[in-house]
Amino acid sequence: MGAATKTFCFGITTVVIAYLYLRWQPDVLRKEADLNAIEQQMVDAWEKQIQYPKKPFSRLAVGTNGNIDLIVSGIELLNKLKQVPGKEHNHNRLASLRDLQESFSYFFKRGRAAERLFTDADLYKEVVKAVYTLEKVEQFIGGNAALMAKNAASLFPDVKIQFVGPVGPILQKLMPKAISIPESSIAKQDEFHLIMEYKVGQEWGSTKAPVATRFICSYDASNSEMTMLETFFNNLDAFKPDLILLSGLHMLESLEPEFFESRLAALIQGLDKVDARIPVHLEFASMMDKNFMRSILEKAMSKVTSLGLNEQELAFASIAMNGPHSDHLEMSEGQPVIHIMSDLIHWMLSTYGKSSKRPDSRLTRIHFHSLTYHIVSVHKDHWKNVKSATMAGTRVAGHQACDTKESNPHFVDLRIPLEFKLYSGDVQRKFDPHNPAFTWTMGEFYFVFSPVLVCKHPLKTVGLGDAISATGLMFSEFSP
């Protein structure tokens, strides 16, 4: 057979194989195309619809928790500590390695992020020592406040940022040079937090992780007592911020009730001195003590302007206060139900926020963020550009998790149901990727719902909430 004939036969064979593949695999190809299409439509919609605020914030004061995050594989660390899969139990505090294994297993099975404190300093030192024997250990900026400062600096380079928190030698080197750190905030030693990450589908015993997230643990003297709280407020007059971001309140949960109440009183005293024209955002984190949560809600919630939190924190607030859906929330697993979360947000704003019934409250905004969607609700007289801010927050979640600067529809998935209710009593809504954000009004409050394009193979799960909250605020406009 000649060379020309061979080439001809090879060409015909290739065409036939391609035809047969297309003939017998149309469903696979069509599904792939449709999947990419809906994500691409959302990316295109974001590009067209997200608008920068006309009067952006320019001076951002952030405090008060900061540390070094040691990021490791949670399962590899448990194996190194000679822990085996066993009982699942949600411990409020960790007093032993068994407590660590049981708490990790509890949240691993449910695919929920959580944070717990060790009660034994020496035991925690042994755990950290074991961390440094693993093949892969990463050191990053940690602490909600430090992460909000870092993310704001990278996303909004023209904004002047001051961070106050316990800044040790390693953290000082890692923080962006553009961030101002007062001398009074410098500490001799770093605090270390352990981020035990796991991937979707990863196995621990007979359980597979439903999502990629992490379990955080620590023993932290500086942050757990908010030692930089007074320093933070003392530096505000000289810096003159037009936006304040606070976090670290959850770290006080490990303290005795009397000491906690004294630190909460110090926080309230500092907040009372802040000019009402300057919005104050408080970022929540994982909490488990009902009395602790109840005290924050009743005494401090009306003193802040904005609140950021996830489904675990929002649900726990309702459980602690006997709010709506309490029975359902204690039994629920998996993706948070959209209309239930919006009901809780409305309950929280109606109960603690500024309204005709509570004119003295400063709380006018809640930014709820979960893995698959966000809801932002505001008092309609006090915030503008809310729709763009909500979409910007959902967009940055995918960027951060995939470690990309642009949205790539091939790297992400839409994971919300395509039909859903926005609140109890609502009709079923159909999702439109060309108009991905839904808006509605309930009384004095305006709501925006926006889905997240979830990163398929996340490179980093820690700090997403902090990047989301910082971005949502920086795209917002506040009217005192």
- Give the per-residue pLDDT at 332: 62
Q: Which residue has the tokens 């505000």?
A: 236
Catalytic residues: 466
User: Which pLDDT score, from 0 to 100, does residue 1 have?
Assistant: 54
Q: What is the pLDDT of residue 26?
A: 39
CA distances in angstroms from 463 to 29, 91, 150, 237, 354, listed in the order given: 36, 23, 10, 29, 29
Task: Give the domains, in start order, of the chain with CATH numbers.
Answer: 48-54+255-478 (3.40.1190.20)
Two tokens, residue 264: 């909460």
Q: Mean pLDDT, to the nearest integer, of 5-17?
A: 47
Query: Three-state DSSP class for 220?
Result: coil
Q: What is the mean pLDDT of residues 211-218?
A: 91
Residues 6+ apart with CB under 8 A from 252: 224, 225, 226, 260, 263, 264, 292
Distance CA 416, CA 335 (A): 8
Predicted confidence (pLDDT) per residue in 362-381, tens digit: 999 999 999 999 999 999 99
**pLDDT at res. 321:** 95
**Structure confidence by residue, pLDDT tens digits, 28-55:** 333 444 556 899 999 999 999 999 999 9
Mean pLDDT across 427-443? 97
Q: Is 406 a residue whose pLDDT tops 90?
A: no
In the predicted structure, residue 397 carries a pLDDT above the cut 80: yes
Q: Is the pLDDT of residue 412 over 60?
A: yes
State the pTM of this model. 0.82
Q: Residue 477 class from Cβ within 10 Å (0-12 exposed, 13-18 middle, 19+ buried)? A: middle
Q: What is the pLDDT of residues 272-296, one digit of tens each?
A: 999 999 999 999 988 888 999 999 9
The mean pLDDT value for 396-404 works out to 90
Q: Which of 170-174, 326-330, 368-372 has the lowest mean pLDDT?
A: 326-330
User: Comparing 143-147, 252-256, 377-381, 454-458, which segment has the lowest mean pLDDT?
Assistant: 252-256
pLDDT value, residue 31: 45
Q: Which range has the worst mean pLDDT, 82-86, 182-186, 449-453, 462-466?
A: 462-466
High-pLDDT (> 70) share of the chain, %: 91
pLDDT for 331 equals 59
Burial (CB count within 10 angstroms: exposed 0-12, middle 13-18, buried 19+), residue 88: middle
Q: Mean pLDDT of all residues in the chain?
A: 90
Give the pLDDT confidence score for residue 138 in this predicted structure: 92
Name the token pair of 148: 């909000």
Residue found by looking up tokens 């926020």 in the block: 353
Can you give the pLDDT at residue 318? 95
